[in-house]
Amino acid sequence: MIKLRLKRFGKKKEASFRIVACNSTSRRDGRPLQELGFYNPRTKETRLDTEALRARLTQGAQPTDVVRTLLEKGGLLEKIERPSIAIGKAKLEKQKLSKAKSKDEKSDSNDAKSDSNETES
């Protein structure tokens, strides 16, 4: 299976990446089948070879998550809501609701305690 993924190059702690097409079993920095673009995360610079990318995608190449987001930003792929992201958002909403409920319950119990303290005085 052909994957579209990032190949790291550059100095230590100043990484840049090339978007490459390679076999799924090959190493990260191994020899790619084709170089399709460039991405610099420090300057957010991205260059894409759109014709070559479209050709590889029509052949059935599977992009990694990071490459998929770069292609979505470049307008080559439709932005889709991935299931893992939807599940994560739902989980965060649940946590926010439960925290809000627990805060309300604590404030209600504190109000009741303060009312009982006032009646004792």
pLDDT band (50, 70, 90) for residue 91: confident
pLDDT per residue as tens digits for the range 31-40: 888 889 999 9
Look up the pTM and report it: 0.63
| Predicted pLDDT of residue 101 | 81
| Predicted pLDDT of residue 17 | 92
Closest to 48 (Cα-Cα) out of 30, 27, 69, 26:
69
pLDDT per residue as tens digits for the range 9-22: 888 888 899 999 99
- Cα separation, 35 vs 21, in Å, equals 6
Region 54-73: what's the mean pLDDT? 89
Q: Classify domain 2-74 by CATH number.
A: 3.30.1320.10
Contacts of 48 (CB under 8 A, 6+ apart): 19, 36, 37, 70, 71, 74, 76
In the block, residue with structure tokens 């009982």: 116
User: By mean pLDDT, which of 10-19, 66-75, 85-94, 101-110 is the weakest?
Assistant: 101-110
pLDDT band (50, 70, 90) for residue 108: low
Q: Taking the domains of the chain in order of start, what are their residue ranges? A: 2-74, 81-121
- Cα separation, 89 vs 95, in Å, equals 10
